[in-house]
Amino acid sequence: MTTTELDWNDLRFFLTVARTQSLTKTATALKVSQSTVARRIEAIENSLQVSLFAHHQTGYFLTDAGQGILKYAEEVEERILLLASQVSGLDLRPVGTVRLATAETLASQLIIPALPRFSARFPDIALEIITGVNTVSITRHDADLALRLVRPEQNSLKIRRVGRMASAVYGSETYLRQHPTLETHPLDGRGFITWDSCYNHLPSAKWLTGNYPNAPATLVITSVVSQIAAVKANLGLAVLPCFIASQNGEMVKVIPTEQVFAEDLWLVSHPDLTASTRIRAVADFLVEIIDEAQLV
């Protein structure tokens, strides 16, 4: 086998191992056996006459030669995905699958409740929602659309601001009654449900640290859903999106949005998919429900 005999399937195995650093994860992702992955990598290395990976106990890591091959393999991948997206973008009616990446909070509290209406309007579109957007790349076509609270830096993407999401400090009626304080000092004697330190980059964590660095933590949490449950369980105050907290009648706004913050919402897509009617249908629907939700 010579280098001229390499095909896309060979590069798929190489790229997936490079990204997962694991033969097992690659086998799962490509729906083949682990031995098949090992044979394909060995075949590529024999063809190129270089060692692409160093095998350690913790996984498979690219050698210098592998790092050099990686950028060329990614260029081939991008061209193939571009071709596929251009062909799929020629839909004349909204039909097919659309993969949407977004935050878990937006998925569970904003998008999913509106899906019955979406399905009735677009019965031929199969919507796939992916949360945990840190691992999702629009550039690599892991998803067709993304609804994000942080504006992507890649200039090659189509980026559109579609709204703002306000946050405020909330507590349950019971907790506030159990911890009375002066109106001029609404936090005295009250504790916060806070984020784990690995989430210090989040706006709500930054706001609390910057404005009330000495506020006692009554509970440390790793998701907005858990924070909402903790507030409802009368465990303390929390910085929460207003559109979610307002759905819970027992929650009371302690510090208003004007003294907290609001975040921009960004709709992100690959520019090559702008001609797709199914992508436009989902994008327009997202804008519609964001407007209806009155997030600020």
Q: In angstroms, rounded to a whole number, what is the distance separating the alpha carbons of residues 138 and 283?
A: 14
pLDDT of residue 2: 43
- The single-letter code of the amino acid at 245 is A
Rounded to the nearest angstrom, the gap between the alpha carbon of residue 101 and the centroid of all alpha carbons in its chain is: 5
Furthest-apart CA pair in the chain: how many Å?
79
Whether 264 contacts 170, CB under 8 Å: no
Q: Which of 52-56, 182-186, 198-202 has the lowest mean pLDDT?
A: 182-186
pLDDT of residue 177: 94
Q: In angstroms, rounded to a whole number, what is the distance separating the alpha carbons of residues 38 and 230?
A: 47
Has residue 85 got a pLDDT over 70? no
Q: What is the mean pLDDT of residues 145-156?
A: 82
Higher-scoring residue by pLDDT: 93, 286: 286
Q: In angstroms, rounded to a whole number, what is the distance separating the alpha carbons of residues 51 and 264?
A: 46
pLDDT bucket at 296, cuts 50 / 70 / 90: low
pLDDT bucket at 184, cuts 50 / 70 / 90: confident
Residue pointed to by tokens 């592998």:
66
> Closest Cα to residue 141, out of 60, 91, 90, 74?
74
Higher-scoring residue by pLDDT: 69, 155: 69
pLDDT of residue 156: 73
Has residue 168 got a pLDDT over 80? yes
pLDDT of residue 151: 85
Q: In angstroms, rounded to a whole number, what is the distance separating the alpha carbons of residues 31 and 252?
A: 50
C-alpha gyration radius of the chain: 24
Q: In angstroms, rounded to a whole number, what is the distance separating the alpha carbons of residues 256 and 169?
A: 7
pLDDT of residue 259: 94
DSSP alpha helices (H): ranges in 31-92? 34-48, 64-88
Query: For residue 281, what is the enclosing H or E element?
Result: helix 277-293
> Closest Cα to residue 254, out of 189, 199, 161, 157?
189
Has residue 201 got a pLDDT over 50? yes
The average confidence (pLDDT) of the chain is 86
Query: Tokens standing for 189?
Result: 């004697």
Has residue 217 got a pLDDT over 80? yes
Query: Mind listing the pLDDT tens digit for each residue in 109-139?
Result: 999 999 999 999 999 999 999 986 555 666 6
Query: Mind listing the pLDDT tens digit for each residue in 250-267?
Result: 899 999 999 999 999 999
What pTM, to 2 d.p., does this model score? Answer: 0.64
pLDDT of residue 83: 67
